[in-house]
Amino acid sequence: MKISRIKFVTIFLVSAFAFQFISNSLLGPEVRLFPINGEPFPGIGSPIVWKSTVSAILYPIKVVLLGPLTFLFKLPDPPPPFLALAFAFYWIAIALILYYLLSKIHARKKA
């Protein structure tokens, strides 16, 4: 790949936080990065049709981005940077795995 590992991870991390913020702001009751009511997938049971449809489309992406760490949403009162740091470390691991896989695919195409 022609992009450096650090740049790829940074872009992935910024994109994941932006995706999380935008999707929670559109689908949830309040504008937040992480929902305060403990619901990691807002909009799933919404009576509003477009919110329910959009949340159904985004559900697989949110499961990958949030799924393994959903237990953090059930903590009574985590400090604000705790959630962001936990998800940042998880997303960095995902980005490094994706970078490795994409570099292997790119190397195969050249050969």
**To the nearest whole number, what is the mean pLDDT of the chain?**
85
Burial 82-94 (b: 16+ CB within 10 A, else e): ebeeebeebbeeb
pLDDT per position as a tens digit, 69-101: 877 777 777 777 888 898 899 999 999 999 999
**pLDDT tens for each residue of 10-63:** 999 999 999 989 988 888 877 777 766 667 777 777 788 888 888 889 889 988
